């Protein structure tokens, strides 16, 4: 049995509220990204344990975790980050690219409506929530190329009133922006350059004062699919090199094992929707 990861002492720089979905129905029964292989079975008991450990890490760090009830027939609903984007209490819903996940969009919107959110917008364009819409405090970075329509940037800008930076993903292994870019602060991020086209690499270099370049090995471990509260960075334990780089930049790394979810192309961030 994998031990629960040790959590460093100290309050987070910013206490956050997260929405998570228990993996009661998690499995890999179709393939919509290069990570997914229905012939490679998920150990549901291990997945439930790993998810529970991630939730415990968040609460131990001083964050609040809310949950949405999983729905039968939606094995990827556990990846809450894809369910919506929430900034300043305003919710932009998701509209999924693949029919296998289409029903997740309404399920998440119904949760927000039932939980008192007054501004809940159904999108006109395809987008997969925080998978491709990344809040970077001074701006919002929107990824496109595989799952999200480039035109969603106009809806994002209109709803949130922040500058929107559009970047293009070119490696199908990194099908969502949150698999290739981890924002650590308003001026600092970690990323895997080869996941982006040349102009997008230049755009990110122009926006962030400090960019930590993840190796291909660490990127392939989904090491960039992490969360940061301004002090602590939660990321996959397998991305040891990236962890050292982030520590050198002054952050406290909290490693977690979500290896069962990697079978579907997911990691800590995929399982976590921030309620701002």
Q: What burial class does residue 115 get, using C-beta atoms within 10 Å of its C-beta: 0-12 exposed, 13-18 middle, 19+ buried?
A: exposed
144, 176, 207, 232: the active-site residue: 176
Q: Using DSSP, state whether 200 is helix, strand or coil.
A: helix
- Residue 84 vs residues 47, 104, 106, 238: alpha-carbon distances, Å: 23, 10, 10, 28
* CA angle, residues 92, 97, 102, in degrees to nearest 5: 75
Distance CA 269, CA 182 (A): 9
Query: Which of 23, 8, 7, 16 minimizes the C-alpha distance to 275?
Result: 16
Sign of CA dihedral 33, 130, 65, 103: negative
Of these residues, 207, 228, 232, 270, which one is catalytic?
A: 270
Please say whether the beta carbons of 252 and 8 come within 8 A.
Answer: yes
Compute the chain's Rg from CA coordinates: 17
Question: Judging by DSSP bridges, how do beta strands 232-236 and 252-256 pair with one another?
Answer: parallel
d(CA 96, CA 110): 16
Catalytic, 270? Answer: yes
Place of tokens 């998690």: 26
CA–CA distance, 41 with 63 (Å, rounded to integer)? 32
Distance, CA of 126 to CA of 19 (rounded, Å): 21
Question: DSSP secondary-structure letter at 127?
Answer: B
DSSP state of 222: T
Active site residues: 176, 270
């Amino acid at each position: 049995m994998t031990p629960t990861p040790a959590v460093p002492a100290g309050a987070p720089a910013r206490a956050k509220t997260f929405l998570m979905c228990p993996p009661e129905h998690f499995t890999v029964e179709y393939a919509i990204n290069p990570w997914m292989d229905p012939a490679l079975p998920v150990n549901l008991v291990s997945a439930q344990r790993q998810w529970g450990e991630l939730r415990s890490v968040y609460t131990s760090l001083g964050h609040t975790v809310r949950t949405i009830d999983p729905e039968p027939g939606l094995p990827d609903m556990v990846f809450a980050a894809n369910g919506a984007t929430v900034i300043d209490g305003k919710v932009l819903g998701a509209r999924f690219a693949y029919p296998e996940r289409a029903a997740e969009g309404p399920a998440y919107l119904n949760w927000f409506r039932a939980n008192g959110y007054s501004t809940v917008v159904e999108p006109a364009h395809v987008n997969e929530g925080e998978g491709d819409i990344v809040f970077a405090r001074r701006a919002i970075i929107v990824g496109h190329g595989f799952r999200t329509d480039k035109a969603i940037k106009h809806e994002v800008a209109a709803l949130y009133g922040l500058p929107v930076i559009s970047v293009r993903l070119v490696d199908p292994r990194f099908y969502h922006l949150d698999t290739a870019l981890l924002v650590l602060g308003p001026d600092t991020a970690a990323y895997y350059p080869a996941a982006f086209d040349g102009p997008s690499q230049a755009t990110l270099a122009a926006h962030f004062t400090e960019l930590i370049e993840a190796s291909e090995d660490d990127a392939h471990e989904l090491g960039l699919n992490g969360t940061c509260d301004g002090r602590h960075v939660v990321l996959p334990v397998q991305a040891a090199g990236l962890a050292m780089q982030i520590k050198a930049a002054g952050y406290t790394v909290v490693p977690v094992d979500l290896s069962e979810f990697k079978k579907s192309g997911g990691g800590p961030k995929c399982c976590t929707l921030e309620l701002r």
